[in-house]
């Protein structure tokens, strides 16, 4: 049974940055962790060898990141940020009043934002699902995972400029 894949929009810069990270992890990263594991193995009894267990845990996290990046890059749609037309869509920066507080955030993949301090919400998140397709001035509510109903009003939709 296969699971449906989600297409993620990425800028060319984000795609290139993630491809470079994947290459580094798949080559240098794997070599480094193999050396750490081998070095820890040489210390003796593996049951009580904290260095060995830490290296194996690090290896697991790195392999998970490699799988995540591989899938993301395989299914990514690379292009320019969509030009804002006042409608919420992936790759746009939203200013909204959420539960009475004004927030500014990007709708899309956290990978798009790179080093930006901007908060990022996935278009599949409860907030993302609720506001995708809304225009400036529109209001809606969404339900949090804990069951709380939260009001949202869209104040501004801007084109993502990379910061």
User: Per-residue pLDDT for 57 more than 60?
Assistant: yes
Residue 95 has a pLDDT of 96
Structure tokens at 143: 């339900």
pTM of the model: 0.64
**pLDDT score of 131 more than 70:** yes
Please count the other Cβ atoms lying within 10 Å of the Cβ belonging to residue 4.
Answer: 4
Whole-number average pLDDT of the chain: 87
55 versus 116: the higher-pLDDT residue is: 55
The yes-or-no verdict on residue 1 having pLDDT over 50 is no
The answer to whether residues 75 and 6 touch, using CB atoms and an 8 Å cutoff, is yes
State both tokens at 17: 């940055």
| Ordered domains of the chain (ranges, CATH) | 9-78 (1.10.287.180), 87-158 (3.10.50.30)
């Amino acid at each position: 049974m296969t699971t449906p894949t989600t297409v993620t929009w990425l800028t060319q810069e984000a795609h290139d940055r993630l491809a470079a990270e994947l290459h580094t992890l798949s080559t240098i990263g794997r070599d480094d962790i193999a050396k750490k594991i081998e070095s820890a193995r040489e210390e003796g009894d593996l049951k009580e060898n904290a260095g060995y267990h830490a290296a194996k845990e690090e290896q697991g996290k790195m392999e998970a990141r490699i799988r995540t990046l591989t899938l993301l890059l395989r299914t990514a749609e690379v292009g320019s940020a969509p030009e804002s037309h006042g409608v919420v869509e992936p790759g746009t920066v939203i200013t909204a009043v959420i539960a009475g507080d004004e927030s500014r955030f990007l709708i899309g993949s956290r990978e798009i934002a790179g080093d930006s301090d901007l908060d990022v919400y996935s278009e599949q998140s409860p907030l993302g699902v609720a506001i995708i397709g809304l225009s400036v001035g529109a209001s809606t509510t969404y339900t949090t995972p804990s069951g709380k109903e939260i009001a949202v009003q869209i104040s501004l939709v801007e084109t993502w400029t990379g910061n």
